[in-house]
């Protein structure tokens, strides 16, 4: 629960902080910040619906893939709502071995792969490759 509060606080600061730099002639700065915090909370709730035991296909309804180093069984995913909200996910292969005949982790990804671990959501700029 403490991690969730820290995440919401950091996310609201990151998103709402940009508004502090802009003058608000109407004086509704507080309402705008509250709207940002509410939006971050909704995104976080959606992200936290993904749990161990679910499939990659289900995960892809809330997240999409990000660039960077990955294998078929470990990858960083970004929220469909904001690419700065991320989780790291580990999978169990379904219908194929986890490793090839040389012992290398498979690069193949399947929609029915089972989620073994989902990290706590975190903030980070996008990785491009």
Distance, CA of 74 to CA of 86 (rounded, Å): 13
Instruction: Output the pLDDT for position 67.
Output: 86
Whether the Cβ atoms of residue 40 and residue 73 lie closer than 8 Å to each other = no
Question: What pTM value is reported for the model?
Answer: 0.77
Mean pLDDT rounded to a whole number for the chain = 86
Residues 6-59 pLDDT 10s? 455 555 555 554 444 444 445 578 889 999 999 999 999 999 999 999 999 999
Whether the Cβ atoms of residue 121 and residue 7 lie closer than 8 Å to each other = yes
Distance, CA of 79 to CA of 83 (rounded, Å): 6
The rounded percent of the chain whose pLDDT value lies above 90 is 67
Structure tokens at 30: 């507080």
β-pair partners for 76: 88
Whether the Cβ atoms of residue 62 and residue 50 lie closer than 8 Å to each other = yes
Distance, CA of 49 to CA of 15 (rounded, Å): 22
Whether the Cβ atoms of residue 64 and residue 75 lie closer than 8 Å to each other = no
Secondary structure, 3-state, 77-125: EEECCCCCEEEEEEEECCCCCCECCCCCECCCCCCCCEEEEECCCEECC
Structure tokens at 9: 């606080």
Structure tokens at 59: 């995960």
- Tell me, what DSSP letter sits at residue 97? -
Would you kindly state where each structural domain of the chain is located, as residue ranges? 1-48, 51-129
């Amino acid at each position: 629960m403490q991690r969730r509060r820290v995440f919401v606080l950091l996310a609201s600061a990151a998103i709402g902080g940009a508004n502090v730099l802009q003058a608000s002639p109407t004086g509704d700065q507080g309402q705008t910040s509250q709207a940002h915090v509410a939006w971050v909370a909704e995104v976080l709730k959606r992200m936290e619906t993904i749990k161990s035991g679910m499939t990659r296909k289900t995960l892809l309804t809330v997240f999409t893939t990000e660039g960077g180093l990955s294998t078929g069984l470990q990858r960083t995913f970004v929220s469909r709502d904001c690419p700065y909200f991320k989780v790291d996910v580990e999978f169990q292969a379904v219908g194929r071995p986890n490793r090839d005949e040389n012992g290398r982790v498979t690069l193949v990804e399947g929609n029915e792969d089972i989620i073994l671990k989902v990290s706590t959501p975190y903030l980070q700029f996008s990785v491009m490759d």
